[in-house]
Copies of this chain bind each other. A is one copy, B any other.
């Protein structure tokens, strides 16, 4: 089976389990709170042409990696959906912290219900992520449930460290590449690495396979984020759905920009200007290219992409459908234009 065939089979199954788990929680007199969560997950929308939600990448990775190890996919399902709930909890809080009014073309939770209710709705979704991970008890036993939930919360703490750094970047222009990597590792890569290694961790697979799965996810996450940074400046607006160079306009401290601030005085001077016009943005894109920021970011993305593929070779087996699909998925994510 190809990746798209596997996706056709797994994604509806993931969606059913996500909905069922939320539905099985007790909301009593607080049905509006439940509605907020369902809305954020993309299930209560009026536009039939919009899926209203993301790619469910994290649970998909959990299931594909389970398949690659020849493990029972259904037995890890509640762990897979836990990571999707956790990811969505971070989005609800991130949207408040970043002051973002829209997600998937719809008003964000805080924009619709106000900041106090949105903070609390994020918290509620987090409790559901935890309960879902603890449900591994039913399929894999207490020891697996406790260990997986411990990993979940270690990654959760790391997420908050990454988010702390990201917010604090707003106040400084001097950011070292090391701190940038700590930030994206926390914000993006740690959770992807948990998705790829979760199944191996809870089934006590050999530590070398665990390490390869972790390395695969971590490198994939980092390469994915750097690719995102590149597209945020040089991406085709029509493909990305964002205005071109939007990261320059929003003053986002992405990798090329951090590099430019450190290596180009013309870029640094432009960065300090207020009310940028289109012509300024075009000039700044050139300044970044001239100082080598694009080449640097590309070479970093390439390095981590290669790391991801090498790690993948260590645990995937020829002829295994899921291994093949993981290759396809990684290629699609890393060599994307949007």
CA distance A29 to B26 in the complex (A): 39
Which B residues are CB-close (under 8 A) to A152? 130
Q: Which of A29, A134, A179 has the most CB of B within 10 A?
A: A29
Chain A interface (Cβ within 8 Å of chain B)?
25-30, 32-33, 93, 96-98, 115-117, 119-121, 123-124, 126-128, 130-131, 134, 137, 142-143, 145-147, 149-150, 152-154, 156-157, 159-161, 163-165, 167-168, 178-179, 182
Check A127 against B146 for contact (C-beta < 8 Å).
Answer: no
Which B residues are CB-close (under 8 A) to A153? 127, 130-131, 134
Check B131 against A150 for contact (C-beta < 8 Å).
Answer: yes
CA distance A98 to B146 in the complex (A): 34
Which B residues are CB-close (under 8 A) to A123? 93, 126, 156, 159-160, 163
Q: Which of A116, A117, A131, A159 has the most CB of B within 10 A?
A: A116
Which B residues are CB-close (under 8 A) to A124? 157, 160-161, 164
**Cross-chain pairs A/B with CB under 8 angstroms, 12 sampled:** A28-B182, A29-B178, A93-B119, A93-B120, A96-B115, A121-B164, A123-B126, A124-B160, A128-B157, A130-B149, A142-B143, A145-B146
Check A164 against B117 for contact (C-beta < 8 Å).
Answer: yes
Check A119 against B96 for contact (C-beta < 8 Å).
Answer: yes
Which B residues are CB-close (under 8 A) to A167? 116-117, 120
| Cross-interface CB contact of A149 among B25, B128, B149, B164, cutoff 8 Å | B149
Q: Binding site of A, secondary structure by majority: helix, strand, loop or mixed?
A: helix
Which B residues are CB-close (under 8 A) to A98? 116
Smallest Cβ-Cβ distance to A161: which chain B residue: B30
Check B97 against A119 for contact (C-beta < 8 Å).
Answer: yes
Q: Which of A96, A130, A179 has the most CB of B within 10 A?
A: A130
CA distance A14 to B28 in the complex (A): 35
Check A165 against B29 for contact (C-beta < 8 Å).
Answer: yes
Which B residues are CB-close (under 8 A) to A179? 29
Q: How far is the CB of A99 from chain B (nearest CB, A)?
A: 8
CA distance A93 to B182 in the complex (A): 26
Q: How far is the CB of A46 from chain B (nearest CB, A)?
A: 23
CA distance A117 to B137 in the complex (A): 34
| Cross-interface CB contact of A32 among B28, B115, B164, cutoff 8 Å | B164
CA distance A27 to B157 in the complex (A): 9
